[in-house]
Amino acid sequence: MNKRAIVIVLLVLVAVLAVMVGCKKAKPTPTPSSEVMESKPVATGTFTLVPATPTAEAEATVKVQTPTSTPAGLPQPILLNPPDLTAGTAIDLEWAWKDALAEGHCFEVQIWPDEPEAQPKAYGWYRDAYLRVTAANLVPGRYWWRVIVVGACKQDHGEELSSYSEEHRFIIVWPSLRPQLVLPWPTRPTATFTPTPRPTRTPYRSPTPPWYTPGPTNMSSP
Protein backbone atom coordinates (compact mmCIF):
# COMPACT_ATOMS: atom_id res chain seq x y z
CA MET A 1 0.00 0.00 0.00
CA ASN A 2 1.53 3.25 -1.09
CA LYS A 3 1.67 6.47 0.86
CA ARG A 4 -1.07 8.08 -1.26
CA ALA A 5 -3.62 5.48 -0.29
CA ILE A 6 -2.73 5.85 3.35
CA VAL A 7 -3.19 9.61 3.23
CA ILE A 8 -6.61 9.20 1.56
CA VAL A 9 -7.74 6.78 4.27
CA LEU A 10 -6.62 9.15 7.00
CA LEU A 11 -8.45 12.05 5.37
CA VAL A 12 -11.61 9.97 5.14
CA LEU A 13 -11.36 9.06 8.83
CA VAL A 14 -10.81 12.69 9.81
CA ALA A 15 -13.85 13.75 7.77
CA VAL A 16 -16.01 11.07 9.40
CA LEU A 17 -14.91 12.12 12.87
CA ALA A 18 -15.59 15.78 12.06
CA VAL A 19 -19.10 14.94 10.87
CA MET A 20 -19.81 12.95 14.04
CA VAL A 21 -18.57 15.73 16.32
CA GLY A 22 -20.64 18.30 14.45
CA CYS A 23 -23.80 16.23 14.86
CA LYS A 24 -23.28 15.95 18.60
CA LYS A 25 -22.86 19.71 18.99
CA ALA A 26 -25.89 20.53 16.82
CA LYS A 27 -28.27 18.14 18.59
CA PRO A 28 -27.35 17.92 22.30
CA THR A 29 -29.13 15.27 24.27
CA PRO A 30 -31.45 17.01 26.80
CA THR A 31 -31.06 15.94 30.42
CA PRO A 32 -34.07 15.15 32.65
CA SER A 33 -33.45 18.21 34.75
CA SER A 34 -33.47 20.51 31.72
CA GLU A 35 -36.71 18.99 30.46
CA VAL A 36 -38.36 19.55 33.84
CA MET A 37 -37.15 23.11 33.98
CA GLU A 38 -38.36 23.82 30.45
CA SER A 39 -41.77 22.16 30.82
CA LYS A 40 -42.52 23.34 34.39
CA PRO A 41 -40.76 26.60 35.14
CA VAL A 42 -40.65 27.58 38.79
CA ALA A 43 -42.20 30.98 39.46
CA THR A 44 -41.18 33.09 42.42
CA GLY A 45 -43.00 35.90 44.18
CA THR A 46 -46.12 36.52 46.32
CA PHE A 47 -49.55 35.68 44.99
CA THR A 48 -52.82 37.39 46.09
CA LEU A 49 -56.04 35.43 45.71
CA VAL A 50 -58.91 37.59 44.49
CA PRO A 51 -62.35 36.15 45.39
CA ALA A 52 -64.61 35.65 42.49
CA THR A 53 -67.75 37.76 42.37
CA PRO A 54 -70.81 35.53 42.94
CA THR A 55 -73.18 35.40 40.07
CA ALA A 56 -76.92 35.78 40.23
CA GLU A 57 -77.32 32.04 39.74
CA ALA A 58 -75.09 31.28 42.71
CA GLU A 59 -77.01 33.76 44.91
CA ALA A 60 -80.29 32.15 43.92
CA THR A 61 -78.90 28.74 44.83
CA VAL A 62 -77.81 29.98 48.26
CA LYS A 63 -81.22 31.50 48.93
CA VAL A 64 -82.96 28.28 48.02
CA GLN A 65 -80.71 26.23 50.33
CA THR A 66 -81.15 28.56 53.36
CA PRO A 67 -83.64 26.88 55.78
CA THR A 68 -86.60 28.94 56.93
CA SER A 69 -87.09 27.14 60.28
CA THR A 70 -84.75 26.91 63.27
CA PRO A 71 -82.05 24.36 62.41
CA ALA A 72 -81.18 21.48 64.69
CA GLY A 73 -77.94 21.39 66.64
CA LEU A 74 -78.33 24.65 68.58
CA PRO A 75 -76.02 25.27 71.54
CA GLN A 76 -76.83 23.39 74.72
CA PRO A 77 -78.42 25.07 77.77
CA ILE A 78 -76.08 25.93 80.62
CA LEU A 79 -77.02 24.97 84.20
CA LEU A 80 -76.56 27.88 86.63
CA ASN A 81 -78.06 26.88 89.98
CA PRO A 82 -78.00 25.09 92.34
CA PRO A 83 -74.45 23.78 92.81
CA ASP A 84 -74.06 20.03 92.55
CA LEU A 85 -75.42 18.01 95.52
CA THR A 86 -77.34 20.92 97.03
CA ALA A 87 -79.80 19.67 99.69
CA GLY A 88 -83.01 21.24 100.93
CA THR A 89 -86.80 20.93 101.15
CA ALA A 90 -87.11 23.31 98.17
CA ILE A 91 -84.59 23.46 95.30
CA ASP A 92 -84.57 26.28 92.72
CA LEU A 93 -83.34 25.05 89.32
CA GLU A 94 -81.97 27.78 87.03
CA TRP A 95 -80.37 27.58 83.60
CA ALA A 96 -79.49 29.83 80.65
CA TRP A 97 -79.55 29.58 76.87
CA LYS A 98 -77.76 31.64 74.25
CA ASP A 99 -80.77 32.39 72.02
CA ALA A 100 -84.39 33.30 72.71
CA LEU A 101 -87.02 30.61 72.38
CA ALA A 102 -88.98 30.65 69.16
CA GLU A 103 -92.76 30.38 69.12
CA GLY A 104 -93.84 26.90 70.13
CA HIS A 105 -90.43 25.88 71.53
CA CYS A 106 -89.87 25.01 75.19
CA PHE A 107 -87.27 23.92 77.69
CA GLU A 108 -87.78 20.29 78.65
CA VAL A 109 -86.54 19.59 82.18
CA GLN A 110 -85.66 15.95 82.83
CA ILE A 111 -85.38 14.64 86.41
CA TRP A 112 -84.70 11.07 87.49
CA PRO A 113 -83.55 9.32 90.70
CA ASP A 114 -79.86 8.76 91.31
CA GLU A 115 -80.14 4.99 90.91
CA PRO A 116 -78.25 2.60 88.61
CA GLU A 117 -81.29 1.51 86.57
CA ALA A 118 -83.14 4.84 86.50
CA GLN A 119 -83.62 6.53 83.13
CA PRO A 120 -84.05 10.27 82.37
CA LYS A 121 -87.70 11.26 82.39
CA ALA A 122 -89.38 14.48 81.31
CA TYR A 123 -90.55 16.41 84.38
CA GLY A 124 -92.17 19.30 82.47
CA TRP A 125 -91.95 21.89 79.68
CA TYR A 126 -91.32 25.54 80.45
CA ARG A 127 -90.83 28.81 78.62
CA ASP A 128 -88.91 30.37 81.52
CA ALA A 129 -85.46 29.22 82.55
CA TYR A 130 -86.51 28.59 86.14
CA LEU A 131 -88.19 25.77 88.09
CA ARG A 132 -88.73 25.11 91.81
CA VAL A 133 -89.05 21.53 93.06
CA THR A 134 -90.04 20.71 96.63
CA ALA A 135 -90.64 17.74 98.90
CA ALA A 136 -94.33 18.04 97.97
CA ASN A 137 -93.49 17.16 94.32
CA LEU A 138 -90.64 14.69 94.74
CA VAL A 139 -90.02 11.95 97.25
CA PRO A 140 -87.03 12.86 99.42
CA GLY A 141 -83.87 11.46 97.93
CA ARG A 142 -81.05 12.28 95.49
CA TYR A 143 -81.88 13.18 91.87
CA TRP A 144 -80.19 14.01 88.57
CA TRP A 145 -81.48 16.81 86.29
CA ARG A 146 -80.72 18.25 82.86
CA VAL A 147 -82.35 20.53 80.24
CA ILE A 148 -82.88 20.35 76.47
CA VAL A 149 -84.68 22.59 73.95
CA VAL A 150 -87.55 20.84 72.14
CA GLY A 151 -89.82 21.94 69.34
CA ALA A 152 -93.12 21.33 71.16
CA CYS A 153 -94.54 21.94 74.61
CA LYS A 154 -96.57 19.61 76.84
CA GLN A 155 -95.95 16.48 74.84
CA ASP A 156 -94.26 13.20 75.56
CA HIS A 157 -91.07 14.34 73.84
CA GLY A 158 -90.87 16.93 71.08
CA GLU A 159 -88.26 17.37 68.38
CA GLU A 160 -84.82 17.89 69.91
CA LEU A 161 -83.50 21.29 68.81
CA SER A 162 -80.35 21.36 70.94
CA SER A 163 -77.94 19.04 72.65
CA TYR A 164 -78.45 18.09 76.30
CA SER A 165 -77.00 20.25 79.03
CA GLU A 166 -74.67 18.93 81.68
CA GLU A 167 -76.12 16.71 84.39
CA HIS A 168 -76.17 17.94 87.98
CA ARG A 169 -77.56 16.43 91.20
CA PHE A 170 -79.67 17.76 94.06
CA ILE A 171 -81.06 16.24 97.26
CA ILE A 172 -84.64 16.61 98.53
CA VAL A 173 -85.02 16.19 102.30
CA TRP A 174 -88.05 15.96 104.58
CA PRO A 175 -89.02 19.11 106.42
CA SER A 176 -88.05 18.95 110.09
CA LEU A 177 -90.90 18.10 112.47
CA ARG A 178 -89.00 19.02 115.60
CA PRO A 179 -90.08 22.20 117.40
CA GLN A 180 -87.70 25.02 117.06
CA LEU A 181 -85.34 25.53 119.95
CA VAL A 182 -86.62 28.35 122.15
CA LEU A 183 -83.78 30.31 123.57
CA PRO A 184 -84.26 31.75 127.10
CA TRP A 185 -84.58 35.45 127.62
CA PRO A 186 -81.27 37.08 128.29
CA THR A 187 -80.65 37.43 132.03
CA ARG A 188 -80.82 40.95 133.26
CA PRO A 189 -78.17 42.16 135.66
CA THR A 190 -79.41 42.23 139.28
CA ALA A 191 -79.31 45.68 140.82
CA THR A 192 -77.52 45.74 144.18
CA PHE A 193 -79.00 48.14 146.74
CA THR A 194 -76.48 49.97 148.84
CA PRO A 195 -78.11 51.89 151.71
CA THR A 196 -77.01 55.45 152.16
CA PRO A 197 -75.38 55.90 155.55
CA ARG A 198 -77.36 58.20 157.78
CA PRO A 199 -75.59 61.06 159.58
CA THR A 200 -75.04 60.61 163.34
CA ARG A 201 -77.59 62.62 165.24
CA THR A 202 -76.79 64.28 168.58
CA PRO A 203 -79.63 63.81 171.08
CA TYR A 204 -81.45 67.01 171.80
CA ARG A 205 -81.36 68.37 175.27
CA SER A 206 -83.59 71.16 176.35
CA PRO A 207 -81.84 74.12 177.92
CA THR A 208 -81.86 74.38 181.73
CA PRO A 209 -84.24 77.06 182.89
CA PRO A 210 -82.60 79.79 184.97
CA TRP A 211 -84.90 79.23 187.89
CA TYR A 212 -84.03 75.59 188.23
CA THR A 213 -81.64 74.64 191.00
CA PRO A 214 -80.42 71.08 190.88
CA GLY A 215 -80.66 69.12 194.08
CA PRO A 216 -77.90 67.25 195.85
CA THR A 217 -76.38 64.49 193.89
CA ASN A 218 -76.19 62.06 196.84
CA MET A 219 -79.34 61.89 198.78
CA SER A 220 -79.83 59.42 201.51
CA SER A 221 -83.17 58.04 202.25
CA PRO A 222 -84.80 59.46 205.42
Domain that holds residue 21: 3-30
Number of domains in the chain: 2
pTM (2 d.p.): 0.48
Side by side, the strands of the sheet bearing 122-126 are 86-88, 168-172, 141-150, 106-113, 122-126
Chain-centroid distance, C-alpha 76: 11
Give 10-residue mean pLDDT values along the chain (222 residues).
73 77 56 46 46 47 39 77 94 92 92 94 93 93 95 80 94 77 58 72 66 60 52
pLDDT for position 38? 47
pLDDT for position 112? 96
pLDDT for position 61? 40
Residue 156 placed within a domain: yes
Residue 40 placed within a domain: no
Asked whether residue 168 falls in the same domain as residue 87, the answer is yes
Angle at 186 between CA 180 and CA 189, to 5 degrees: 170
Residue 160 sits in a domain of what CATH number?
A: 2.60.40.10
